[in-house]
Amino acid sequence: MPLVRMSATSPQTTKSVEQLRPDSPYAIRRLFVALALMTIGNGGMYAVVTVLPTVQAEFGTSRADASLPYTLLMIGFGLGGILMGRLADRFGVTVPLLVGAASLGAGYVTASWAGSVWTFALAHGLFVGMLGSSATFAPLIADTSLWFVRRRGIAVGVCASGNYLAGAVWPPVVQQLVATHGWRPTYFGIGLFCAASVAALALLMRPRPPLAAPAVLASSSGAAPDVLRPFGLSPTAATALLCVAGLACCVAMSMPQVHIVALCTDLGFGTARGAQMLSLMLAFGIASRLLSGYICDHIGGLRTLLLGSLLQGIALLMYLPADGLWSLYVVSAMFGLFQGGIVPAYAIIIREHFAPGEAGARVGTVLMFTLLGMALGGWMSGKAYDLTGSYTAAFVNGIAWNLVNLAVAAWLLFRVRGLAGRSPASAAR
């Protein structure tokens, strides 16, 4: 109400309110700032993988110990999403972004001074992951969902594509800098760059999101959802189901993403071909997030999740007979195109069916489980390979977990359609 009162008395305020409305030119400019922030802030998970062989050689550790920084970073990334989401809900997205800027700087600089792999790993887990990169993922996706109504799906897709864009930009840059200057000066420079750039861009995100009603268009029933009882369930129960779905879908998703290089090596195609397939997969993943966002604006988050999960399952099935070089290229491209829109769909679902003021915390919680799913799925696929000597069992395991995600999405859609035909009083019961 204060905005309405101020606009009635001040032409300048009226102009300001108009500029800060959902789907406004300002919202579009803000979206591209968010894309830049995610591309910069999410570089840690790709930088640490790029320097892994060099760090392993310097510290003289095993491959398992050398992988610990990445593992702790991803765990911290997931856990930090909840904390940063709550900060964003309470204070706006600028506050967690400034915390993230300082933490990214501290994390990379501390890692550059590390005297052991354990110090290097803790710097990644605590500063780069939990307090740094997490501020540039879930809070930005939640914030973007609040600034758009008519084009919410495509906007969230553009924002979320920053994670994949980081995967395309950071590895070659880091590799070149390490080859030229060494990994320690490279990490020190990355720390200064991330701290300065994220802080500067964060100041452009100071306006709070406008108060927006849930989008009727995106609702699967065509009626405004009950944000107090999403899907006819308590908010806690509904969030828990989405967490299960997010965990399951990403256990399935992790098999090709984590093990495609190893699979190509086993088939005799070499690591270079595997790396090319991974890059191809991520490139099509960017396209997928944009296309899925467009689809989401027309059919809603739940149906988009259901479609993406079904197509991901088909792509996983196609991997089973694929053992030729070009067939793997084709299937990897299709997998990237099919699965890229699944994770952003969860943010859309939360925005459609939950209270807007809880978006940051709930998106952060669900996305934490997607990250845990990636970590768990990568380990399970490796374990399946160790036990069987091939990746066939790993793909079958991924397909099984994908069916869990598919079942949850289908059940929630069934409930939404069922509630649409009931009276408000009966639906509340």
CATH number at residue 71: 1.20.1250.20
- Assess whether 197 and 328 both reside in one domain: no
Quote the pTM value.
0.78
- Assess whether 334 and 376 both reside in one domain: yes
- Please give the C-alpha separations between residue 237 and each of 103, 230, 233, 286, 350, in angstroms, as whole numbers: 33, 9, 6, 31, 13
Separation of alpha carbons 343 and 182, rounded Å: 35
Nearest Cα residue to 343 out of 409, 256, 276? 409
- Assess whether 254 and 196 both reside in one domain: no
- 170 contacts 43 by C-beta, under 8 angstroms: yes
Percent helix, percent strand, percent coil in the chain, to nearest 5: 85, 0, 15
- Assess whether 198 and 236 both reside in one domain: no
- Assess whether 237 and 361 both reside in one domain: yes
Which tokens in the block code for residue 220? Answer: 């699967």
The length of the chain, given as a count of residues: 429
pLDDT at residue 215 in the model: 44
In a domain, 355, yes or no: yes
In a domain, 213, yes or no: no
- Assess whether 372 and 317 both reside in one domain: yes
In a domain, 405, yes or no: yes
Low-confidence ranges of the chain (pLDDT < 50): 1-15, 212-222, 423-429
- Assess whether 324 and 183 both reside in one domain: no
- 99 contacts 152 by C-beta, under 8 angstroms: no
pLDDT at residue 213 in the model: 41
- Assess whether 321 and 376 both reside in one domain: yes
Structurally, the chain folds into a number of domains equal to: 2
Residues 6+ apart with CB under 8 A from 258: 374, 377, 378, 381, 382
Query: Could you give the 3-state DSSP secondary structure of residue 263?
Result: helix
313 CB neighbour count, 10 Å cutoff:
22
For residue 23, the enclosing domain spans: 19-205
In a domain, 4, yes or no: no
Strand locations in 195-303 (E)? none
Residue 212, amino acid: A
In a domain, 225, yes or no: no
270 CB neighbour count, 10 Å cutoff:
13
According to DSSP, residue 1 is labeled -
- 359 contacts 235 by C-beta, under 8 angstroms: no
Query: Could you give the 3-state DSSP secondary structure of residue 391?
Result: coil
According to DSSP, residue 356 is labeled G
Nearest Cα residue to 134 out of 73, 81, 96, 91? 81
Query: Could you give the 3-state DSSP secondary structure of residue 109?
Result: helix
Separation of alpha carbons 254 and 405, rounded Å: 14
In a domain, 301, yes or no: yes
Separation of alpha carbons 162 and 406, rounded Å: 26
pLDDT at residue 15 in the model: 43
- Assess whether 148 and 270 both reside in one domain: no
Q: What's the maximum distance between 2 C-alpha atoms anywhere in the chain? A: 74
- Assess whether 182 and 253 both reside in one domain: no
In a domain, 35, yes or no: yes
Nearest Cα residue to 41 out of 164, 166, 127, 146? 166
- 240 contacts 173 by C-beta, under 8 angstroms: no
Alpha-helix residue ranges (DSSP H) falling in 42-93? 44-59, 63-66, 68-91
Q: How far is CA 199 from the centre of its chain?
A: 21
- Assess whether 38 and 137 both reside in one domain: yes
Separation of alpha carbons 10 and 15, rounded Å: 9
- Assess whether 191 and 236 both reside in one domain: no
Residues 6+ apart with CB under 8 A from 118: 68
In a domain, 218, yes or no: no
Residue where one domain finishes, among candidates 205, 221, 240: 205
pLDDT at residue 171 in the model: 84
What letters, b where the CB count within 10 A reaches 16 and e where it falls short, cover 103-121?
Answer: bbbbbbbbbbebeebeebb
Query: Could you give the 3-state DSSP secondary structure of residue 61?
Result: coil
Nearest Cα residue to 347 out of 307, 289, 398, 419? 289
Residue where one domain finishes, among candidates 205, 240, 267: 205
Residue where one domain finishes, among candidates 149, 171, 205: 205
